[in-house]
Amino acid sequence: MSDMPGDTGLLAGRRGERSGAPRDAGPAPEECSIVTRGLTKRFRGGQVAVDALDLAVPGGSVFGFLGPNGSGKTTTIRMLLGLVTPTAGTWELLGRPMPDGMTAVLPRVGAVVEGPAFYPYLTGEANLRRYDAADPAADPRTATARIGHALERVGLTAAAGKRYRAYSLGMRQRLAIAAALLGPRELLVLDEPTNGLDPQGTREVRALVREIAAEGTTVFVSSHLLAEVEQMCSHVAVMRTGRLVAQGTIAGLLARETVRIRVETPDVAGAAAVLAAAGLTGIRAGDGEADAELGAEEPERICAALVAAGVAVRGLGVRRPSLEDVFVGLTGEGFDVDG
Ligand SMILES: Nc1ncnc2c1ncn2[C@@H]1O[C@H](COP(=O)(O)OP(=O)(O)OP(=O)(O)O)[C@@H](O)[C@H]1O
């Protein structure tokens, strides 16, 4: 998704405070499915759950809304959908200012926010039929086709006649997504869709999210799992205690970090000299290994230079930064990947 608007990592908050912060303003608001400005929620008792949030979710993106438990993700999603009233700030969904545009926009938005209430003794299909019948905008004459299509979209056609209680956790979550997809949706909002799922269920949901996005629906998905967001999303925003730490494309955020080359060798001094001669910087000579910032240099050229210089190479590796490295760099602390 390299043609996304704003294909650079963005620092959140007041730009320019941090030296070297990109000054890219991000995607234009009219290209965004979700825009928030200064969105804030202070609960009674004074706790600020979401603090002056500025989000820009480009249309067509799979946008990961990442943060540890309690960082304000669910509260944000509930504000976006009109389930919680913000204390301050404004927001737009699909180009319409909220909450005024709610009635017009919400039919174009699918959401799985709380665990959906499905009847265990009904089949998946019958449960969807109940959901569909409860929607006053849904034409009952086309219900069967709509339900069939939703089941097909989430890969549950073969299991449509099974009772919900016999569904695996992954199938249950896929049924919840099917319920959110009963109408044609331009935006799908999922709050921690893989929470509590086993690895198989997680894979199913991840694949489904990618498919839905490939069909053109913008997906806004919250998660406390870094690796999951890295695998599933084109964009990410990171929350920490109610505040936005960073947002942008994953590629853009990763590009901020340095790729390093590491040489395992008994001749550390010789290796360091070759790395320096190749013009690499940030050289570190350790116990049995030397490493340096690779920059735009090609690892195979470094390998050839080491061999040509007679340096005995036991191992050679290129370390590409992970999203976690980015967050450590941005926040100065680690991210609890397991929540
Ligand atoms: N109704 C409420 N009244 C008071 N405080 C609340 C309320 N709802 C949430 N909070 C608090 O606001 C903060 C943010 O909670 P929120 O549920 O939005 O975080 P989250 O990132 O979605 O975490 P989780 O994944 O655990 O739901 C938390 O400290 C939470 O205790």
What is residue 146's three-state secondary structure? helix
Which ligand 1 atom is the nearest neighbour of the CA of 191?
A: 22
Distance 70 CA to ligand 1 centre (A): 5
Query: Which tokens is 2 given?
Result: 């390299």
DSSP 309-326: TT---SEEEEEPPPHHHH
User: Is it the case that residue 190 has pLDDT exceeding 80?
Assistant: yes
Q: Domains in the chain, start-ordered, CATH in brackets?
A: 9-255 (3.40.50.300), 260-320 (3.30.70)
What is residue 9's three-state secondary structure? strand
CA separation, residue 327 to residues 9, 62, 134 (Å): 12, 19, 43
What is the model's pTM?
0.79
Query: In the chain, where does DSSP find H-type helix?
Result: 73-80, 102-105, 124-133, 143-153, 169-180, 199-214, 226-232, 250-255, 268-277, 299-308, 323-331
User: Is it the case that residue 338 has pLDDT exceeding 50?
Assistant: no
Helix pair angle (299-308, 268-277), 10° resolution: 120
- By most ligand atoms within 8 Å of CB, the mutation choice from 47, 78, 83, 243 for ligand 1 is 47
DSSP 29-63: GGGEEEEEEEEEEE-TTS-EEEEEE--EEETT-EE
Q: Left (φ > 0), alpha (ψ -120 to 50) or beta: where does 289 sit? A: beta
Distance 49 CA to ligand 1 centre (A): 6
Report the distance separating Cα 238 and Cα 117, nearest Å: 29
Asked if 198 and 169 count as a contact pair (C-beta separation under 8 A), the reply is yes
112-167 pLDDT, tens digit each: 987 668 999 999 999 999 989 988 888 889 999 999 999 988 889 999 999 999 99
3-44 pLDDT, tens digit each: 333 333 444 433 333 333 343 557 777 689 999 999 999 998
Asked if 142 and 190 count as a contact pair (C-beta separation under 8 A), the reply is no
Mean pLDDT across the chain, nearest whole number? 85
CA separation, residue 144 to residues 46, 84, 167, 325, 330 (Å): 48, 33, 21, 48, 50
Identify the pLDDT of residue 160.
94
Distance 72 CA to ligand 1 centre (A): 6
Asked if 297 and 304 count as a contact pair (C-beta separation under 8 A), the reply is no
Identify the pLDDT of residue 330.
66
261 falls in which pLDDT band (50, 70, 90)?
very high
257 falls in which pLDDT band (50, 70, 90)?
confident
CA separation, residue 204 to residues 93, 148, 191, 200 (Å): 28, 19, 16, 6
- By most ligand atoms within 8 Å of CB, the mutation choice from 39, 48, 74 for ligand 1 is 74
Distance 95 CA to ligand 1 centre (A): 27
> Which residue, judged by its Cα, is nearest atom 12 of ligand 1?
49
Asked if 321 and 259 count as a contact pair (C-beta separation under 8 A), the reply is yes
Which of 20-34, 72-86, 108-122, 243-257 is modeled with the greatest confidence?
72-86
User: Is it the case that residue 216 has pLDDT exceeding 50?
Assistant: yes
Identify the pLDDT of residue 332.
58
Interface confidence (ipTM) of the complex: 0.95
Report the distance separating Cα 329 and Cα 179, nearest Å: 40
User: Is it the case that residue 99 has pLDDT exceeding 80?
Assistant: yes
Which amino acids bring their CB within 6 angstroms of ligand 1?
Answer: 43, 47, 49, 67, 69-75, 192, 224
Identify the pLDDT of residue 64.
95
